[in-house]
Structure 1
Amino acid sequence: MSTILQVESLTKTFQSGHRQIKVLDNINFTIAEGQSMSIVGPSGSGKTTLLGLCAGLDRATEGRILINQVLLNQLSEDELAQLRNQQVGFIFQNFQLIPTLTALENVMVPLELRGEKNIISASKELLNRVGLSDRLDHYPSQLSGGEQQRVAIARAFSNRPKILFADEPTGNLDEETSHSIESLLFELNREQGTTLVIVTHDPDLAQKTDSIIKLKGGKLI
């Protein structure tokens, strides 16, 4: 299996007043195509910052990140956006659905941005796959938390990402709903061969992934 994500000597600092705060310090790891990985650690350890850097949502202060052999550091903002649209999926703890769009329309957005054809039927198929065929015309405010996260998962998989980043995907859900969302993520991960990188506080979810990395104080331990 070839490496899909390569992180080398990754450091991220923020300016706070007159001092610099080092949020991530010399992080190194790789993950192979089709594998799953958890990033765990206490609050404030840099997990979400690391995920955002790996997904190309932010830029590192030092070090290198490669997705599918493409060096993110050298890409312009437009090129980064194009790479995310073509190869990366992202699932957030708070769903990040567009409130004025229906479930179907939310899933259609990435496909429209890619200029794909048959986007209505493809989006309906994805929502059916996540068990929401009877919720196509519902707005996010009309859906439960679990249903909103299912829409978010369908949207994330709509562009058939090579790698999917999930930030506390079950953090706002009850235990029963969390288990069904976890099962769905791993099923789609296997079916599509998508690499899965999850930030989680849930030790049970972390144990289900192929590998676990732990952060503490911005360092890999």
Structure 2
Amino acid sequence: MSTKILQINQVSKHFVLGTSEIPVLKDVSFEIEEGSTVSIVGPSGSGKTTLLGLCAGLDQPSEGTITLNGIQLTGLNEDQLAAVRNEHVGFVFQNFQLLPTLTALENVLVPLELRGLKPNERDALALLQRVGLGHRADHYPSQLSGGEQQRVSIARAFANKPKILFADEPTGNLDAETSQSIEEMLFELNRESGTTLIIVTHDLDLAAKTQQIIPIKGGKIA
């Protein structure tokens, strides 16, 4: 029997600007199976990154409910949301978001430290080797290319063995050749770990590689 790892029920989101309310998402509902690969696609300004932030517990919806791995996120405070993210969620961002003062190895260890776990350098180094960067473990982000930084970011995302991994335009800042190798690595690691993968992208070729596509247009599922 399949398990729903993410349930989005009639979610809307608006932002207040002065005396105006700006709607970004309107009455969005969908479910995602555990272990599946999913893409959220849409043009710039369609609300897909806002939706990812809500799904991952980075923000709260204005209306509706979000349940991640059996935990209802709606109504949790910031500390509770952070605890859920640390325990269940991994992230890969378009701009890598590595800490510049930490080496590649230290960056991979960050999720474990956030969870209060004892850093396991052997496992972190194995992840770096898995993404082809074992020999760059002591290098800082400024000493790495964009593709190498994204590989470190992917290794970091899998470090705490997340139940669900969110990737926001993971190849958006990379050239075509590098993008392809990063995509292959992301899907391969995901298969090996059994993680649920959700990718926000405007790249329809990348979206076609996932099992489920959720198209967003004008804040609604198209």
Calculate the TM-score normalised by the size of structure 1.
Answer: 0.98
Counterpart of 2:29 in structure 1 is 28
Counterpart of 1:220 in structure 2 is 221
Counterpart of 2:122 in structure 1 is 121
Check whether the contact 2:42–2:216 (CA below 8 A) recurs between aligned residues. Answer: yes
Counterpart of 2:174 in structure 1 is 173
Counterpart of 1:110 in structure 2 is 111
Check whether the contact 1:112–1:119 (CA below 8 A) recurs between aligned residues. Answer: no
Check whether the contact 1:11–1:27 (CA below 8 A) recurs between aligned residues. Answer: yes
Where do 1:8-23 residues align within 5 Å?
A: 8-23=9-24
Structure 1 residue 72 and structure 2 residue 59: aligned? no
Check whether the contact 2:108–2:155 (CA below 8 A) recurs between aligned residues. Answer: yes
Aligned partners of 1:82 and 1:20: how far apart in 2?
30
Aligned partners of 2:98 and 2:119: how far apart in 1?
22
Counterpart of 1:57 in structure 2 is 58
Q: Which runs of 4+ in 1 moved over 6 A?
A: none
Structure 1 residue 155 and structure 2 residue 156: aligned? yes
Check whether the contact 1:104–1:137 (CA below 8 A) recurs between aligned residues. Answer: yes
Secondary structure, aligned partner of 1:74: coil
Secondary structure, aligned partner of 1:95: coil
Counterpart of 1:185 in structure 2 is 186
Number of positions where the alignment pairs a residue of Structure 1 with one of Structure 2: 221
100-109 vs 74-83, which moves further: 74-83
Check whether the contact 1:55–1:165 (CA below 8 A) recurs between aligned residues. Answer: yes
Calculate the TM-score normalised by the size of structure 2.
Answer: 0.97
Secondary structure, aligned partner of 2:134: coil
Q: CA deviation at 1:69?
A: 1.2
21-30 vs 108-117, which moves further: 108-117
Where do 1:65-104 residues align within 5 Å?
A: 65-104=66-105
Q: CA deviation at 1:35?
A: 0.2
Q: What stretches of structure 2 of length at least 5 have no aligned partner?
A: none
Q: CA deviation at 1:118?
A: 5.4
RMSD (Å) for aligned C-alpha atoms: 0.9
Check whether the contact 2:112–2:119 (CA below 8 A) recurs between aligned residues. Answer: no
